[in-house]
Amino acid sequence: MNSPAISDRDRPLHRGNPWEVFLAFLKLGLTSFGGPVAHLGYFRTEFVERRRWLDDRSYSDLVALCQFLPGPASSQVGMALGMGRAGWWGSLAAWLGFTLPSALALILFAYGVTEYRGLAESGWVHGLKVVAVAIVAQAVWGMAKTLCPDRLRAGLAVLAALLTLALPSAAAQVGAIVACGLLGRWLIKLPTLGALQHHDFGISRKV
């Protein structure tokens, strides 16, 4: 008796190794400037568009989940990407590769500020602050086209932004997350149970 054909979705996912994950995140750790929002944009470009470790929908779901958790979303997304690619060691490799360069640079900068009091107020540091605004804006615009593809979701994003701007506090941020989550649950059409069962939250099968 012939065994039933195995669909592409039932085939084992392609796995990487911790060294591959470390090198991928080290590259980003050495070249990615800006804060957590900018990092999420860099992650999408590198791991969704270029390397195709996962698809856009899976990445959007992962970002939404990490935004709901306390702590820096970019670190959580990075470790989750590493875990999805190479397990627990992949998660550690992603954290080390992405965090180590900035940690070393911050230590060196702290020593520099201690030795040279005017370093923090120098013109080149203020120039870096201006560039950071442009980097974050570019990252937000890049993700907005994917996360807010229609008027309804764009409206929820604007509503959340207005709420956090009007009430700049941690409570307002939590309130915006909860409110938009409830509104999205009520207004946005959810996929069927069958679609959820076949939805791939893992790594792309492309080698």
Task: Tell me, yes or no, if the pTM score tops 0.85.
Answer: no
CA 154 to each of CA 26, 97, 113, 188, 199: distance values in angstroms, whole numbers, following the listed order: 33, 34, 42, 12, 24
Nearest-10 Cα torsion for 103, 106, 111, 113: -170
Q: Please identify every stretch of the chain with a pLDDT value under 50, giving residue numbers as ranges.
A: 1-13, 193-207
Q: List the one residue out of 32, 46, 53 whose CA is nearest residue 200.
A: 53
pLDDT in tens, 61-89: 898 888 878 888 889 999 999 999 999 99
**What is the spatial distance between Cα 163 and Cα 172, in angstroms, rounded to a whole number?**
7
* Domain limits, the chain: 13-198
pLDDT in tens, 22-35: 999 999 999 887 77
